[in-house]
Structure 1
């Protein structure tokens, strides 16, 4: 029986930050800061991590899939593809080495308690807990987190199976690390299996843009209308705006001006959500090989055989390479050059190649 849960956020501790994105005096200074400091630091780390930079530049990781590592030298029954298993272990080792190098930098927070209060609150509110199977899952919006929440609800008996037709309640019947006391948090971080899932950063942004600003009225009213007022010429500040026709370029300009630590969770950088330096994850799966990575995790945490990861819904519109290429090439390069540094850690730590948006490439 787990100890009683308490709501707790306000631990007083020395604060730290992977990258200080707090806006300085002017927006121009802030943009220059975010464009130079993260990029230089991160790529220096990549070089030190044993050749990942070369692989990123040549796009050699595009065909390499995210790893399901073996347990005690044995391959799990739910994932029995030897070739994929080898490729997975290679990428997992590259990721692990890069993260260790990055997290070894001075002033980098290496525990939950060395994060700033805001960073810690964000992290603890995104880590889901299952005490029966002893695991922690840091959920990242737009990386199949709704389906993972379904799985957690099935494991706790709140859902009969993952195929039950229902609107997802993202809070009900779920346990968050923020629900526990500091000592209870420390115990679970020390003894539970910890995992997260990542996705190519620009594909995740495009998915958020198409879903939240293209389909959901509440987001259109809250974010879409504000984006139009800020970045579209000719709109009176007092005019009522639906916010349902935001262009991708306008969305990018909005992201450039936002503080990553205060962004909406659907487009906040993954490193700001899950802090892979503050929590040493046992496994980092990827959206690009979701089926096999999810199968590995379910096997690893001892989920019953009848519990499976849900299939994608028939209405789901995937973000293809061609779709992403089209949208990125509609954005002026000067804006992309300001946007990418905000997500540079997501690219480098998780082994994703930077997008090619050169004029020549975009003509095709």
Structure 2
């Protein structure tokens, strides 16, 4: 429930960075990444917590900012996943406002409270000071971009998780990195996505989100119409966003020919 600006998990012994985005299969991805640790982590703290990756991995990981992550782009492979902004906001509302009676402190600081109406939730989120925003509702572009440049070399979409996760595993193999296993399903709470259209019942609500999350729509969902994103049905499958594939293939050929 953090508002920390350190959005990337950096591995010490593997040239790997993960741009963690809350409410985007973050718990499942972190569970899988734990298998890359050499030493058994200290107990007592869930792997979903930032503190775990900062203090409980015997120094094998640390949290860094997008600026720090970008400076490592020539030596490290970085990846992340994103989610339809409308869907992500509904997920955050259901989980943090309706399901949990004691709303996380960063959300309380924003002015959010348990059981509040969705319209009021969106109003407060969209006018909040970026410095105070809880990361569960922070625009994904603010976590994954630096100087308007996308930091991760691979960005998959949660809507196509199975396919994009397989592609990520192939890309990591191409990069000479340890292969990740299948991704488990963690914290799955909703059946279907029909509630998106129900909650976003007015043009005013929709326009407010489009304005506040403009960079998310532009960088990650520009190929989809607003109606398609609001309908909540399975989106037409597109490939993940990738950079550096040609260079990775060239490096692999060089190693094989050495």
Common fold by TM > 0.5: yes
Residues 1:335 and 1:351: Cα distance change in structure 2 (over 3 Å)? closer
Match of 1:355 among 222, 226, 229: 226
Q: Which has the higher contact order (CA 8 A, sep 6+)?
A: 1
Given the alignment of the two structures, is residue 170 of structure 1 paired with residue 41 of structure 2, yes or no?
Answer: no
For 1:257, the equivalent position in structure 2 comes to 127
- For structure 2, the residue ranges without an aligned partner over 5 or more in a row are 232-258
The structural deviation recorded for 1:304 is 4.7
Matching residue within 101, 113, 116 for 1:217? 101
Q: CA deviation at 1:341?
A: 0.6
On the 8 A contact 2:19/2:80 being kept in 1, the answer is yes
Quick one: which of 191, 208, 218 aligns to 2:75? 191
Match of 1:309 in 2: 182
Q: Aligned-pair distance for 1:194?
A: 1.9
Secondary structure at the aligned position of 1:213 is classed as helix
Residues 302-340 of structure 1 deviation map (CA, whole Å, 9 limit, x = unaligned): 4555x4133214x622363312111111xx432332332
Spell out the pairing of 1:150-169 with structure 2 (5 A cutoff): 150-158=31-39, 168-169=48-49
- Shift, 1:170, TM fit: 3.0
Question: CA–CA distance in 1 between the matches of 2:14 and 2:198?
Answer: 43
C-alpha spacing 1:209/1:289, structure 2 compared with 1 (3 Å): same
Q: In 1, are the aligned partners of 2:107 and 2:134 still within 8 Å (CA)?
A: no
**Which residue is equivalent to 1:248?**
118
The alpha-carbon distance between structure 1 residues 342 and 354, as it changes in their structure 2 partners (threshold 3 A), is farther
Distance 1:268 1:194, change over 3 A: same
Query: Could you say which structure has the higher strand fraction?
Result: 2
Match of residue 282 from structure 1? 153
What TM-score results when the alignment is normalised by the length of structure 1? 0.50
Aligned 1:11-26 pairs, distance under 5 A: none
State the match for 2:255 in structure 1. none
In the alignment, structure 1 residue 298 sits paired with structure 2 residue 172: no
After superposition, residues 1-364 of structure 1 pair within 5 angstroms as 122=5, 125-158=6-39, 168-172=48-52, 173=57, 174-177=61-64, 186=71, 188-219=72-103, 223=107, 227=111, 243-275=113-145, 277-302=148-173, 304=178, 307-313=180-186, 316-318=188-190, 320-329=192-201, 332-352=202-222, 353-356=224-227
* Aligned-pair CA distance for 1:201: 0.5
- Please give the alpha-carbon distance, in whole angstroms, between the structure 1 residues aligned to 2:195 and 2:212: 22
Q: List per-residue Cα deviations over 1:1-56 (Å, max 9, x = no partner).
A: xxxxxxxxxxxxxxxxxxxxxxxxxxxxxxxxxxxxxxxxxxxxxxxxxxxxxxxx
Structure 1: segments with no counterpart, 5+ residues: 1-120, 161-165, 229-242
Report deviation, 1:254.
Answer: 0.7
Is residue 197–residue 286 contact of structure 1 (8 Å, CA) maintained in 2?
yes
Secondary structure of the residue that 2:226 maps to in structure 1? coil
Rounded to whole Å, the distance in 2 between the matches of 1:221 and 1:245 is 15
Aligned length in residues? 210
